Amino acid sequence: MAQILKPELKEAIIQSARNEFYSNGFEGASMRNIAKAAHMTVGNLYRYFKNKEDLADALLSSTIDKIDRIITGEINNLPTISNEQGRSADFDARIRRLSMGFAHIFETERKEFMTLIRHQRMADQVVTSIKKIITVMVERWFSQVDLFDRRTDMITSMLASAIFSGLIRLFEESQGSTQEEIEWMIMTYLNLFTLMISAGELHYEKK
């Protein structure tokens, strides 16, 4: 007869994994350490999660969903604005919302958030979401840009990766900062990228 999996034991594993992943990173995390902290054998742990990736998915999926909803919400409501002043005002508001959202997740789910951005596969999902909002922004605001050109795709990929790399450093070095300070740093950082994108408007053209 198959043994019944207990919800409280599954939650104990996830709590132990939260601490282990945060302290040692995904690669350095030990399933043996997680089992020990959850007061069970390694064999019993594997009845609940087949491997570290499965356990990481269970721990981080909710945080990824929250980040994705923040970014997707801005993508779905991005208007077409032809003048620079309108674009600037609109995007300033969006950056403020993104900054507040990221800072809130960092404050309320710090261990999950830091584990996520240090885990390559999970981090790649966030970079993909950032690239989406850059692509939509360019599409709506700079109609002369050919989004199907491989060079444009490469530029948007580079921007998304650069933004994410900077955010990683910001969060890594902001452990003692308040939520308001983190919001300000994120907002200032993202604003620099939007200025850079807008500054290149005269050079955007289909070739």
**Per-residue pLDDT tens for 2-29?**
467 788 999 999 999 999 999 998 889 9
Do 36 and 64 share a domain, yes or no? no
Looking at the structure of the chain, the number of domains it has is: 2
Rounded CA-CA distance 74/79 in Å is 10
Segment 52-56 mean pLDDT: 93
Instruction: Quickly state the pLDDT bin for 204 (edges 50, 70, 90).
Output: low
Q: Is residue 78 part of a domain?
A: yes
Radius of gyration of the chain (CA): 20
Rounded distance between C-alpha atoms, residue 49 and residue 35, angstroms: 11
| Domain annotation covers residue 1 | no
pLDDT single digits (tens) 85-128: 666 677 777 788 888 998 999 999 999 999 988 888 888 888 88
Side chain identity, residue 2: A
Residue 125 in any domain: the answer is: yes
Tell me what the mean pLDDT of segment 49-59 comes to.
93
Residue-level pLDDT at 3:
63
Note down the domain range covering 194. 54-203
Q: Is residue 11 part of a domain?
A: yes
Residue 131, pLDDT > 90, answer no
